[in-house]
């Protein structure tokens, strides 16, 4: 696995988020995967569950997502990320900053995903 393959996956995630298309998030994962939205929750293991979890992006607009890969090793990537968006209809602006740690299979599909982040209301 090289850094370009991780960039392709992160760019696809960025597109899902910025284009507010939660139905495509399942396409980023292998058939068998574990997706941890929080270190305190059980992992999401079904694409339908993941799509349901991502429905919240439909309540966001003016989404701006960026990332920087900080480390890669074999099939694992660690990336810092930032996103800001406006909540609909309240117009509250939110900023998130966090870390992704994820593993991809040989086809470039996610098999394990973890994230940690902080929230700032602007």
For the chain, which residues score pLDDT lower than 50?
none
pLDDT of res. 17: 98
pLDDT of res. 102: 98
pLDDT of res. 18: 98
Cα(17)–Cα(57) distance, integer angstroms: 7
Segments making up each domain of the chain, as ranges = 3-121
Token digits of residue 119: 């929230």
Domain boundaries 3-121, CATH class: alpha beta
pLDDT of res. 122: 84
- Each residue's pLDDT tens digit, 81-100: 999 999 999 999 999 999 99
């Amino acid at each position: 696995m090289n850094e370009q393959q991780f960039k392709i996956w992160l760019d696809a995630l960025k597109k899902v988020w910025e284009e507010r298309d939660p139905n495509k998030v399942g396409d980023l994962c292998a058939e068998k995967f574990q997706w941890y939205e929080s270190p305190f929750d059980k992992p999401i293991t079904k694409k339908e569950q993941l799509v349901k979890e991502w429905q919240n992006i439909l309540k966001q607009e003016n989404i701006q997502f960026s990332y920087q890969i900080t480390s890669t090793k074999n099939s694992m990537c660690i990336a810092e990320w930032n996103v800001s968006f406006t909540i609909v209809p309240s117009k509250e602006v939110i900023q998130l900053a966090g870390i992704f740690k994820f593993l991809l299979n040989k086809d470039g599909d996610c098999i394990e995903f973890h994230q940690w982040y902080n929230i700032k209301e602007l």
